[in-house]
Structure 1
């Protein structure tokens, strides 16, 4: 990574991602404070630089109060950089981490403004491709879409993770395959990617609409749209599972339909434009709900843990009294039962249509403790064994 950009003095990094590092900087000509994003050199080739310049010019032609302005784009050799307005406010990911989820009305108003800005960029022929809370900056309380990059080509999953998604085998999607690489910090980038981006299909405005839907879910709940620990688990959820429902976390029911349509698997079933998404948000934004106390994330996790323990204890007591327990059905073609959550040790293989008895408590939302017909026990992924297939 270079640390020199002609005409600018770079200071400390403001953040880093899959495609580059953003620095606080001063322009030498007039002393103006700006933000400079330096793209990772290994991602840059002549075609990339030309595409970056072309789309930067298109983005710069759009004057919208909700878009971080790109002042300049440059590069030489294997280097490329973008010069953008320097903002002082936190991004929404930081806001969520510090203060927890937003009130529904606030989330609707804020993200509708973001969708308006995204629509303006779409009208100029520029697709963001990486919308997420971390790329929405609060500047004096007003949200601005940043890191259009500008509409850069996302780093492929293969180069980001070293995990082969195109080797001609689907074993990585099977429940008995190795867990694959942990998501870690990469979750912030891939968690909001539309199914067609995972497949490597051409990306259109509908991919940004999908990301807006995932961002809405996160703003309402403080959680990722699909909270998984490994790339295969996340890929399966994005490709197969229905959109997450904010109402499961105390959010007004009307928001479920907005998230579901925005995050539809088929791009043609999503909102036709980001402006349509904004209109839908404004329509449900007036839905009243009891105000939720602004709890920080640690407190929310603590409360959830207490509820989980209490619920698990209650279930054990109920089972001890002979209460009926609804069985789980294996929904996948086949699935494995492990000796512990996230373990690689398989104790049994079960097949589509088999029935398992759940044992409380569950290990979060990803794994469930089950008893097999022969009396043996183990842990299964909730994606593969459910009450209804």
Structure 2
């Protein structure tokens, strides 16, 4: 864990309970009465006067909301490059730990939990606070009740660099080396996997940003996988910018939930559910099998819209050596696949690091077997060798 200050006036800090993109959470006791609490110490590099003022303002707003699904904030403080806040200490695990240890949740349990979470998020939105970092790791069980933590703590993300916590200015070796794989997501994936497109672009966030994260969290609870699960940052940036939201039904989940995820994770904020409460209603309706068609505005691929997605994908993809084009699946299904990316790799197995060939835009490959989920396809090369390629990069039509 990253080194941070370990003295907070009025509190005795003990062992770290966890660390994330914004700070380290410690078990602590309040000296005045011995009460057991949790103290989050924000990473110093994120702290400036503007951030500290916003943290205090949002903590006051959060404290004014009485909802059993929200972790209460008791105090906020700090000077210079220090910022910390004192919260309820909960004994239960977070939902990411449940997924890591036990796999996907039963549908009825996932629906019940996330509907409660959405109600808590809706209450906080009504108070004018946006979470910005909603994900399974920030939903903690208090007994059997899911409780949302870290509301208003995550810094508003102004760039891809600040959002990922990576040094993209030249300090990262993968930038200088030009390796095509780019950086491995690793622990960083727990945050960026649930980030809405507007956060990647550095645009202002809104309640719709949290609705997107609710959709991604629903997908994870139902399938045990992260949305757009990719090994590298360039691959993830491309998926968020260009690919349709993932479908839970591809992993054996009832198809009614596909529409909920698809609407919540729409690329444009205006195309998502208008509130977290509306998301919860749609979620319960899907569980009951009572799903009315949702009419979503279909936005054409105008030059302006293409430019917005290129603003996300192009810098990351070019840096990572994976310059990609917009892919479109046609109604015709030719027997051969075409490489639609500038360059793509063929590997000896799905998600393997062993590359057996590099193919280029326009090359033709022959599909051998059905896709592994929606991510990989088994192909035969023109020289007779076979391997696996990401379906993002090889399609029936480009």
State the TM bucket, normalised to the shorter chain: 0.7 to 0.9
Task: Give the distance between the partners of 1:364 and 1:183, measured in 2 at CA.
Answer: 20
Deviations 1:25-72 (A, max 9, x none): 000001111000000112111111111111111111111111100111
User: CA contact under 8 A between 1:128 and 1:152: conserved in structure 2?
Assistant: no
Task: Give the distance between the partners of 2:135 and 2:347, measured in 1 at CA.
Answer: 36
Pair 1:111 & 2:114 matched? yes
Q: Which residue of 2 aligns with 1:303?
A: none
Q: Which residue of 2 aligns with 1:381?
A: 390
Task: Give the distance between the partners of 1:369 and 1:248, measured in 2 at CA.
Answer: 17
User: CA contact under 8 A between 2:37 and 2:87: conserved in structure 1?
Assistant: yes
Gaps of 5+ in 1: 166-171, 289-324
Pair 1:157 & 2:157 matched? no
Deviations 1:200-241 (A, max 9, x none): 111111110000000000000111011111100111111111
Q: 1:36 to 1:337 in 2, by over 3 A?
A: closer
User: CA contact under 8 A between 2:159 and 2:201: conserved in structure 1?
Assistant: no
Picking from 213, 218, 221, the partner of 1:219 is 221
Deviations 1:149-179 (A, max 9, x none): 43533485324122359xxxxxx9xxx9722
Deviations 1:302-349 (A, max 9, x none): xxxxxxxxxxxxxxxxxxxxxxx94323334x3334565766978454
35-44 vs 103-112, which moves further: 103-112
Deviations 1:251-291 (A, max 9, x none): 11100000000001111110011111011011112249xxx
Q: 1:282 to 1:388 in 2, by over 3 A?
A: farther
SS of residue in 1 equivalent to 2:218:
helix
Q: 1:162 to 1:355 in 2, by over 3 A?
A: same
User: CA contact under 8 A between 2:75 and 2:87: conserved in structure 1?
Assistant: yes
- Aligned residue pairs, count: 343
Task: Give the distance between the partners of 2:353 and 2:222, measured in 1 at CA.
Answer: 32
Task: Give the distance between the partners of 1:287 and 1:57, measured in 2 at CA.
Answer: 40
Gaps of 5+ in 2: 291-333
SS of residue in 1 equivalent to 2:153:
coil
User: In the TM superposition, what is the alpha-carbon distance from 1:363 to its structure 2 partner?
Assistant: 7.8
TM-score, scaled relative to structure 2: 0.79
Q: Which residue of 1 aligns with 2:23?
A: 20
User: In the TM superposition, what is the alpha-carbon distance from 1:387 to its structure 2 partner?
Assistant: 4.2
User: CA contact under 8 A between 1:217 and 1:259: conserved in structure 2?
Assistant: yes
Q: 1:250 to 1:361 in 2, by over 3 A?
A: closer
Q: Which residue of 1 aligns with 2:255?
A: 253
Instruction: Provide the aligned C-alpha RMSD in A.
Output: 2.7
Q: 1:91 to 1:348 in 2, by over 3 A?
A: closer
Q: Which residue of 1 aligns with 2:343?
A: 335
TM-score, scaled relative to structure 1: 0.81
Q: Which residue of 2 aligns with 1:121?
A: 124
Q: Which residue of 1 aligns with 2:331?
A: none
Q: Which residue of 1 aligns with 2:267?
A: 265
SS of residue in 1 equivalent to 2:112:
helix
Alignment of 1:220-239 (within 5 A): 220-239=222-241
Picking from 333, 338, 351, the partner of 2:361 is 351
User: CA contact under 8 A between 1:56 and 1:70: conserved in structure 2?
Assistant: yes
Alignment of 1:1-389 (within 5 A): 1-150=4-153, 152-154=155-157, 156-159=159-162, 160-163=165-168, 178-287=180-289, 326-332=335-341, 334-338=342-346, 347-352=357-362, 354-359=363-368, 366-373=375-382, 375=384, 379-387=388-396
